[in-house]
Structure 1
Amino acid sequence: MRTITTLLSLILTIAAVGCGSGSAALTGPETPRPSVAAIEPGDDSVPDVPLEAPDYVHRIDDLHGWSLLAARPEGAVFARTEVVKFLIDLEDERKVYFTQTARWEIHYDFAREFLHSAERPVESHGAFNVREYRTVDRRFVCGSLVHYLDADTWTFEMLAGDDLAGDRVLRAFEQVREAVYFGEDLRYRSLSDLNDRQIAGVRDRLPIIATDELLGDLRYQPLTQGVTFGYLRIVRGPLDMAAVRRNELLVTADVPPDLPLTMGLVTGTLQAPLAHVGVLSQNRGTPNMALRGAHDDPRFTALDGQLVRLFVGPQDFKVEAARPEDANRFWAAMRPPRPFTPQVDVSESRLLDLCDLNHTSVPVAGAKASQLAEVCNMRPRVRTPGGFVIPFAHYRQHLTRNNLVVGIDQMLVDGAFRDDRPTRDGHLRELRDIIGRLPVDRGLVRQVRRKLRSFGTTRTIFRSSTNAEDLVGFNGAGLYSSVVVDANPTEEDVVNAIREVWASVWTLRGYDERDFYRIDHRQVAMAVLVQPFVSDVIATGVAITANPFTVHRPGVFINVQTAGGSVTDAGASVPEQHLVYTYSATPEPEVLSRSSLTDGQPILNEADVIRLTGTLVAIDQRMRPFYTAPANAVDVEFVVTRSHEVVVVQARPYTVVYPDLNTDR
């Protein structure tokens, strides 16, 4: 193969592809998703309801009695849990009802079926939710008993938004404790700041366990559920990205900062759910789980190097040897059935103010800039860093002016490049080096430097914004580069930053991922989103505008970390996590964890979380109409300033895959 360097004398003008409009601009490759079942056929991790199980009992006297009632819900926030819901009827001698919870998942359904009468009617579902969780004059005390199997801990839990007074919580706890065989081991777990405030006066009389204590004993964490096939490879030490093959299932000791396209990931430490590897796995539909010590677990070490089938379920997992014919059929079904050609419009060469763009600007400015522009234009105002965009035209001109296009075309069809990954890696490195050395149009550099003066004395970030990322069906998180330069950058600083972002189109991981999704590399274009760095940041965060655990309780899921840490590249650190339910007029925040970097102290207070939730709901309402299926949420990255103002830095489509209980695989 002739190298790219020998082809620099060849010139090719690239024709622009016609632009689309509306949601088409944000629609990526058609990505089939293997069906996700909540219950693995032949697996008893989520057992059937026993035929002899009663609908309710008034006491639980032994393990058998518990087993007849307990559910292992597919929408549980924490895996390996068993739940029995209870109601105390305050109008009928405080009778306690422990319900068959797989059969009666909702307090209201049970109350309506068994406790409704003409003398004591049970209202509508909406009225029940208000009266029984948020008023003093209630008929029932409703809660859950949870057995955390990994910690062998039993907890008494109220709804996160339940405002029952502390003395009444204590009385209910004591009554339930006397009615169960594990009463001496029962602990109260608060789910929210509201729960904490309500029990403040009785804390010294309640045996309490903090959520972070439970997390310390948690062993299994399903992040993307489903089935996959791959050659199991146990990685000891840092992950060599270039050595990863797409048909591998990786088992790593730690959480890698990035993840090339692969068939699945198992980490030996717990993960930040919205880290890059989690977002990539979710959008690819490739199973992702954590199991403490997985790299030394005999269930995996016994299969190292072999072709396996992995099932990641809501409560447990299963890994076993697989047949090549099953794996080949599965892999073929994962790829899009048709090629995808990104939209490109090189007719616009002006530097474009971010807030002058909108979601239809993808063919000119890329998906990242176009979607952030929509946030910038929201009313009431949602703060963004602002900035401006160097459109696709300048990237394309850089290639054509320096005679690179024909060389790229020939490289892309070369057999050795396509079939041999080390060869491909070498040629892509060479191409990036060439793009990074060739001169940038001086007129463009002068325009950029003039624009930068309006930023004042702050650092600047040059961010990638392509037509092959942040799309429905193709997330591309972490595929391309961003570059931070100091305040008052020199001409050389600006040139180097622009070239580095442009060159990142041709990373090995970017090429491989696009290739799997049948994206036409020749039509991938890079714009540069230039923004002032947000100062006085106390926290960074990622949120999705959906409840990732269950479709039945709408909400938003927030991960946040101190400014010295990271959510997207969390490593072994645990972020602060909030699940805020949004199905009622008043948001209900539930605290899932505090940051491991703050000694248990909150990063966001409850008022911060409520305000952020309002912003996320507004962004969802703004952006979702622009997305096609299967996207059902928005992935939002943000920072929080010292004045507790939220600044949104990215918004893109996100797909939550909920378990399908009707799937027969």
Structure 2
Amino acid sequence: MYGFLPRLITPPEILVPPAARLHRLAGPPVEPAPESAALGLSLPRVDSPELFQAISQPAADLVANGRLAKVFVDRRDPDAPHVAFVNGNFIRNGSTPDAAKYHYLFGREVFQIPEDLDEFNRLTYFTAGPKRYVAGVLHSYALAGRPPVLGIQFYPQDVIAEEDLRDAVLEIAGQIELPGMALAFVQTGTQQTTARVASDLAGAGIEVLTLDDILGSVTYIPLNQAEAWGWLRIFPTDPDELRPTDIVVLDQLPLDLSVVAGVLTRAVQDTNSHVNLKSKERNTPNAVLRDAGPEHPRLAPFADTPVRYVVRGDDFVIEPTTAEVVAAKLAERLDRPVVQIGWEPEAELRSYDEIGQRSAAETLAAARRYGSKAANLGFLGHRQVLGRAAQAGTPSARLGYDLTPQGFGVPFQWYADLVAHPPNAALRESLDVLIGREAAGDLAPRELRDLVAAVQDAFLAAEFPPRQLETIRARVDGLGVKRLKVRSSANAEDIPGFDGAGLHDSYSVRTKIKDVPGQTCIVIEEQDDGGESKRKVDPRALGCALKGVYASLWNKRAVEERSFARIDQRSVAMGLAVVPAYDSEADVVANAVVVTRVLNTDAVYGYSLSIQQGNNLVTNPDPGTHSELTIAAFLADTEPISFTVTRFAKPTASGPARTTPVLASDQLTALVDLVRTIERAYCRARPGYYPGPCSEVTSDNTKPRSLDLEIKVLADGRFVVKQVREFGGR
């Protein structure tokens, strides 16, 4: 698969519009194979494995498996189409020319095509047929339990009609002879259907596959390419015993995984899960190996020994090292100053609309007082972003409902006041012990767990300062809802270099349950009717929820992540984001996480969408379930968005995976348009987020940062944008 290149220094002999967008081959530059030096730029046939190897490059796209080579078909004379394979390793004057990288420039040089770039793109990708030109790739796949497959693929946005698709595939296949490899057409966009022509393709020995089919047969899936040194722990029985010097092999990914040096799981992971996003942020290796286990021949010899672990695009490496090297590598990662996270005093509770009364930029800056989660909810509701239904001209007004929840933020000062409240001496003492022992660096995992439990018990038993709980209760009563959520909005959360995703807890409140002075609050693990497993407070009174979220600032994993990031534990504080329950108006039919780039590649332009049916979370999925992974490929707003499902959702552990997308195409399009609006507004409000014009931020997959959004879809079709944060991983 391949994508758009948003900007290109145009060769002087080629006249290309200044705002050119050219399709390019995915994959990093590689040294060409020696045999390719004797080959020309264009080849009429691929008739040996050696030739394919010579003209192709390692795949580095959505499926980093196998190799890629480009193909071009000139169909201006439909009775005599010309097929040409591109030598991606062709060298001219000591370097690879652009004609070996881009379909358009290849066509100009080899076939003297007369169109300018915009016309070429329109005819090649955005015209169903008849096709004047066809541009695609050959992608080899190594699949489990079957011979290698050579996939013929078109760009995800290509709207090619079935008959033109069939003709092009047969024309390309007719010039390929690779013994031992099965030929297939691989659908990369849901609009690339084959219902009418599948029998014609089958008659020619060409299988029709989806990327979900491909990924379902791939044994190894790299999720974050990096290297680490640590002790290899295969299927550890107690995750609480894991350390930052451990490389863990797991069956299922636990919801609360400690900080570890690297991860390898047997079960498929959600690409947009908190664990994978944290792996990307920390740059620690993470991959899936479907046959991983204690008896795996590449893993078993190294169990409980120090190893070097490397996740590459094509394979992983486990090799021996020493305990001294492991200790030195951890010390090297931690050899940086401890950072204090400041915050500003603020006495007032404020609604998100009050937080957003000034400019969008000033609204984001309110994170210094309320935390990013609360401030970003104010930003989302700002009239320059999504606005409110009552504000004419805003996206919410156009849809007729508020796209982001009402509610209010509780500032950091209120957390500090609770900790400092004289009757809470036991809380302060337990915090001092935990922080002091953690700073000394000699805590064993079980000791940390016990100290964390003592701190959290002290928070749950703490007394509120005078009038604090009553003031919050009055604000809650003003919302007029039966159920609400109290969410974390810590100062060590959603900040540059540390997003804190999934470290803290949110708690539900039933507003009719009254707080009783001196009541005992407890935290329990519970599954709701939709199968969502999470921590809940009992009773579900407001006071218990507030104290539960405050206590979650000191979750074991949160302490470990802050320690690994060299954040001063004494400088952290918890703000709160209070919102009505998301399903107050209608049931939740889907959860979505959108990252505003295509993860794991710079060559496909668009967004990554993880979508799960019902109220099961994408970020912390229940064991045995996984979300649908869809790539929304687009460049300009005037071009159609294509949706490529690379894996269908498995909503429940006991049920089967879906065979159709969770959301309809029009819902996906509306969702992407909504997120593009948010990202452009964020770009305008946050200096330094993107170095170029904000009009281009949605179509630049090489941007230094992106956004990570969580969105719920209700049964009545409404979207609820529940949060937005910056994300620095790739």
Give TM-score scaled by structure 1 length: 0.85
Give CA-to-partner distance per residue, 1:531-561, whole Å, 9 cap, x none: 1111121000111011223224431110000
> Which residue in 1 is equivalent to 2:183?
186
Aligned equivalent of 1:62: 48
Q: Is the 8 A contact 1:417 1:427 kept in 2?
A: no
Alpha-carbon offset, residue 515 of structure 1: 1.6
Note the C-alpha offset of 1:411: 4.6
Q: Secondary structure at the match of 1:618?
A: helix
Matched, 1:132 2:95: no
Code of the residue aligned with 2:431 in structure 1: it is: I
Q: Which residue of 1 aligns with 2:642?
A: 588
Partner of 1:484: 508
Pick the aligned partner of 1:637 from 701, 705, 710: 710
- Equivalent pair of 1:40/1:313 in contact (CA under 8 Å): no
Please list the CA deviations of residues 264-319 of structure 1 after superposition, one character each: whole Å capped at 9, or x if unmatched. 11111221101111111111111111111222322121111222112211222222
The answer to whether the aligner puts 1:381 opposite 2:395 as a matched pair is: yes
AA matched with 1:157 = Q
- Is 2:205 aligned against 1:202? no
Residues 81 and 315, structure 1, Cα contact 8 Å, conserved in 2:
yes
Q: 1:211: how far off?
A: 3.1
Indicate if the aligned counterparts of 2:481 and 2:580 stay in contact, CA closer than 8 A. no
The change in CA–CA distance for 1:385 and 1:47 in structure 2 (over 3 A counts) is farther
C-alpha contact 1:79 1:314 (8 A) present in aligned 2: yes
Show CA shifts across 1:556-589 (max 9, x none). Answer: 1100000143311233433222212232332333
TM superposition shift of 1:389: 1.6
The structure-2 alpha-carbon separation of the partners of 1:397 and 1:309, relative to structure 1 and needing over 3 Å to count, comes to same
Comparing 481-490 and 215-224, the one that deviates more: 481-490
Give the whole-Å Cα distance in 2 for the aligned partners of 1:341 and 1:156: 53
Q: Which residue of 2 aligns with 1:530?
A: 578
State the alpha-carbon separation in 2 of the partners of residues 87 and 234 from structure 1. Answer: 47
Matched, 1:561 2:612: yes
Shift of 1:365: 0.9
Give deviations 1:384-428, integer Å, cap 9, x for gaps. Answer: 122112221221111111234466345523489741223333222
Q: Which residue, out of 244, 247, 250, partners 1:246? A: 244
* TM superposition shift of 1:94: 0.6
Amino acid at match of 2:594: A
Q: Quick check: 552-561 or 448-457, which moved more?
A: 448-457
State the Cα RMSD in Å.
2.7
Q: 2:81 aligns with which of 94, 99, 106?
A: 94
1:58 corresponds to which letter in structure 2?
A: P
2:263–2:286 Cα contact (<8 Å) kept: yes
Q: 1:49 to 1:508 in 2, by over 3 A?
A: farther
Asked whether the 8 Å contact 1:387–1:531 carries over to 2, the reply is yes
Give the direction of change, closer, same or farther, for the CA distance of 1:577–1:440 in structure 2 (3 Å limit).
Answer: same
Counterpart code for 1:223:
L
For 1:162, which of 158, 182, 187 is the aligned residue?
158
What residue is the counterpart of 2:261 in the other structure?
263
Q: Which residue of 1 aligns with 2:62?
A: 77
Counterpart of 1:24 in structure 2 is none
Q: 1:306 is matched by which residue type in structure 2?
A: T
Equivalent position amino acid for 2:285 in 1: P
- The answer as to whether partners of 1:416 and 1:424 remain within 8 angstroms in 2 is no
Corresponding residue number in structure 2 for 1:343: 342
Partner of 1:121: 114
In 1, the alpha carbon distance for the partners of 2:508 and 2:225 equals 36
SS at match of 1:368: helix
Aligned to 1:109: 105
CA distance in 2, matches of 1:478, 1:146: 36
Matches within 5 A, 1:379-418: 379=386, 380-381=394-395, 383-401=403-421, 402-403=424-425, 404-405=427-428, 408-409=431-432, 411-414=434-437, 418=441
Report % sequence identity. Answer: 25
1:242 and 1:185 map into 2 onto residues whose CA distance is 46
- Deviation at 1:100? 2.1
Distance 2:246 2:438 in 1: 22
Amino acid in the other structure paired with 1:128: F
Equivalent position to 1:360, from 365, 378, 381: 365
2:686 aligns with 626
User: How far apart are the structure 2 equivalents of 1:399 and 1:487?
Assistant: 25
1:647 matched to 2:720? The reply is yes
Equivalent residue for 2:142?
149
Q: Which residue of 2 aligns with 1:13?
A: none
Alignment of 1:31-42 (within 5 A): none
Contact 1:537 1:639 in 2 (8 A): yes
Structure 1 CA distance for aligned equivalents of residues 319 and 329 of structure 2: 15
Contact persistence 1:631–1:654 (CA under 8 A)? no
Residue 77 and residue 381 in structure 1: after superposition, are their counterparts in 2 closer, same or farther (change >3 A)? same
Letter in 2 for 1:288: N
Name the aligned partner's letter for residue 595 of structure 1: A
Aligned AA (2:589) = I
User: Which segment is superposed worse, 429-438 or 145-154?
Assistant: 145-154
Structure 1: gaps of 5 or more residues: 1-37, 658-665
Inter-CA distance 410–215: structure 2 relative to 1 (3 Å threshold): closer
1:470 deviates by: 1.2
> Where does residue 232 of structure 2 map in the other structure?
232
| Contact 1:190–1:210 (CA under 8 A) maintained in structure 2 | yes
Give the residue type in structure 2 aligned to 1:149: A
Contact kept, 8 Å, 1:258 with 1:276, in 2: the verdict is no
Q: CA deviation at 1:507?
A: 2.0
**What is the identity, as a one-letter code, of the residue corresponding to 1:436?**
L
Separation in 1, partners of 2:230, 2:413: 41
Match of 1:305 in 2: 304
Number of matched residues?
Answer: 607
**Aligned counterpart for 2:449 among listed residues 422, 425, 442:** 425
**2:659 matches 1:605:** no
Instruction: Please tell me whether the aligned partners of residues 639 and 647 of structure 1 are also in contact (alpha carbons under 8 angstroms).
Output: yes
TM-score if structure 2 supplies the norm length?
0.78
How far is 1:102 from its partner?
5.0
2:18 corresponds in structure 1 to: none
> 2:101 and 2:479 mapped to 1: Cα distance?
54
Q: CA shift at 1:182, angstroms?
A: 5.1
Question: 1:68–1:204: structure 2 CA closer, same or farther, 3 Å change rule?
Answer: same
Partners of 1:491 and 1:341 lie apart in 2 by: 35
CA distance in structure 1 between the partners assigned to 2:318 and 2:430 by the alignment: 45
1:575 is aligned to 2:575: no
* Letter of the structure 2 residue corresponding to residue 618 of structure 1: T
CA offset at residue 499 of structure 1? Answer: 0.8
Counterpart CA distance in 1 for 2:256 and 2:597 is 24
Aligned partner letter, 1:466: A
Tell me whether 335-344 or 524-533 shows the greater mean CA deviation: 335-344
1:7 counterpart residue number? none
The CA distance in 2 between the partners of 1:182 and 1:490, in whole Å, is 73
- 1:496-511 pair list within 5 angstroms: 496-511=544-559
Give the CA deviation at 1:454: 4.0
Deviation at 1:494, TM superposition (A): 1.1
